[in-house]
Structure 1
Amino acid sequence: MKIPFSPPFVDQAVIDSVMDTLHSKWITTGPKVKELEQEMLKLTGSKAAICVNSWTSGAIMMLKWFGVKEGDEVIVPAYSYCATALCVLHAGAKPVMVDVLDDFTIDPIKVRQAITERTKAILAVDIAGWPCNYTLLNTIVKDSSVTMMFYPETENQLKLGRILLISDAAHSIGATYQGVPAAQKSDITIFSFHAVKNITTAEGGCICLNLPDAFDIEKEYTFLKMYSLNGQTKDAFTKTMGTCWKYDIIFNGLKINMPDICAAIGLAQIRQYKDLLLPVRKKIAHKYCNTFRLFSWFVPPPLLDSERESSYHLFPLRVRDITEEGRDQIINYLISKGITANVHFIPMPMLTYFKSIGYQIEDYPNSYKQYACEISLPIYPQLTNVEIDYVIINVINAVKEQLYRSKKVLKNAS
């Protein structure tokens, strides 16, 4: 049996949506992108949604929009995909990495300790679909002792009057926090529509705004749409609608707009998300949990508590008392059985580039601890019950074999 890690969900509705776009003869930014933005507003309850060509480019744009520049600092978790810090570097600022909690999310206490007069933003990452503790993070950025340290240097920084809280929600579309979409708990939430995400546009992302009342949201939406299209006052679709063809470039923008051909894929998926795609992911996650919790080696992933519910993007299996090498042997066993597993993530300080600019994994012990025992199992709507059972039995056998080996090595060493 061959079980891939995370193939995109492509059903007839997706195919029909893409074909409709192709037959329309309009494949770049146009009506399908606008429809997807409207669907994102329905799903997240946000004030505005701007679709772009990737999470990374959206994050770079929003940091620049806020005026983040050389000499500034942005706090990020060490346990994340590289884009979380690379976007800060592309904006010219310094990523200040802090450690994470046992639930994979950024540690609010470490965040508070890392804040300086140069801190302009916090990028909190919802790992595996599990929302960060936004109650504490909002309390921190709004605390008077913290706001007194904030020195606004741009119009947007002056309007906000404090550190900007951005949610890296690449994994958490559909997650909830205190009974509402988790996206509403940050100033800005940025989603990914990469091929392996719960909703995909092949490549793409979406910026959701929930800025305070000091901001004119409609004005910000219009500005950001221009920003994503080279600072151009009129997009190509608008120019074909019988209006004047003339346009202007009014500032130095980016070229990161999403095309309609990509939005068409996401549209077909998002319209099935709450009633079909997300419930199936949840069902698989709970089946994994209900079986693995019979074993003492199983460390349950955070899925649901009194305030939060995951989007079930990943199933981050953790094996108690396993070494990094032992974890890798378990993955190799699964691969030998045709099961593709993954690891989320290699902490950024372990990567060559970040090591070369001074980050050391020894400074983030809990990030390493979570990484060393984590295995991301397949979880997606196309998995059959037979395939899920096959994954489960092979995980159990793989862990059993590895723990036996470990005990044998320890016995021989003694």
Structure 2
Amino acid sequence: MNKLFLEPFRKLATAGGGSRRGARCSTKPLDHNWQFNRPYISAFLPSNGFFSSSVEDSESNQISGKDLSPPLYKTPNSEFKTHNTKVINPKSHSANTSLRPPPSFSSSIRRMTILVPQRQFASEAGTQAISLDSNELVLDGGFINPKSSPNDAGFFAPEINSFGHSFRDYDNAESVRQKTVEELYRLNHINQTYDFVKRMREEYGKLDKTEMSIWECCEMLNEVVDDSDPDLDEPQIQHLLQSAEAIRKDYPDEDWLHLTALIHDLGKVLMLPAFGGLPQWAVVGDTYPLGCAFDKSIVHHKYFKDNIDSYNPAYNTKYGIYSPGCGLDNVVISWGHDDYMYLVAKENGTTLPDAGLFIIRYHSFYPLHKEGAYQHLMNKEDAENMKWLHIFNKYDLYSKSKVLVDVEKVKPYYQSLIQKYFPAKLKW
């Protein structure tokens, strides 16, 4: 056998001198590569433009973004293997911008990603760096969404909001913001009565407050923060653009849906002095029917015990003053920005499709479109429009983010849509 090959082994055998029969295993760590100053298993959120993580999938396609979990102790010779999240694409849309039935697609498949460091052999020179190239789509306004590969769907719904809680979490009483939200709902549930809503519709249905364009109203929302929203404390114009840009990415041919997202919350100007300075409980928060029993699924239902309608026998049954399948258009819904913006759009002659007006009017009606309550009041037209509301709601709820949209960059696009679907000036 080649002496040059055997020489290193001979020296190794004789280096310690004497027999190796009494040798013992050392408990000393092999080297610093195996020491971690914190647990080295980390759970990541599903990859998305709002709460993304820097990970590498099993095909070595890297998805980079901000890692919201604590940083791992990075050893010089470690690599991190993960599984990628796979979802299914919605059907592609044709160039025709007319209203079409919404495509059906499955929900994203979420899984917890476990990162396990694996020791690299010395023959692999250097470290394997994780790429910083972002696999994300940045729209005109700087709004980020994950890119869709041919086999991936577009929008990823995160599980945690910008405050680190679950979306629409109304039970985290330790949060200062949650206490503000609960107080708003207490006042809302005490004061929203059938007679109050009738008075508000009569007063604001006159549309005699001012005249201005849609975009001017968007700019006014810079002054508004919604205290009923546990997921966001940014000015409302950012929420409008975040929703619109997310939908624009996934439904590029449905321009009416982009515009609907932009204007759906414009009714919140009711809180401004020029519009009467209504208290927030009369403008924001989940909506629900008046004139029939309050469903248990309504957020903070307990406060309805102080609502005078709770003691009116005519309003205390499942149907109350309504009949089965009467249609939501015939149901009195609690007063707020939804109904007001619906009145503004309709009375000013918008050419948005019925589904757009339905979204504007009922997007805060969470007991219906999230909990499934009050379906006995719907008619066939409501059921058809509900398909689009379910699609819209995903973007309305989960696009709330600290990633701000560059307003000036997206302004020309949305102004062109406003010109297409609305008159230059509207009565408010």
The bucket for the TM-score relative to the shorter chain is under 0.3
Q: Which has the higher contact order (CA 8 A, sep 6+)?
A: 1
Higher Rg? 2
Task: Report the TM-score when normalising by structure 1.
Answer: 0.25
Q: Higher helix fraction: Structure 1 or Structure 2?
A: 1
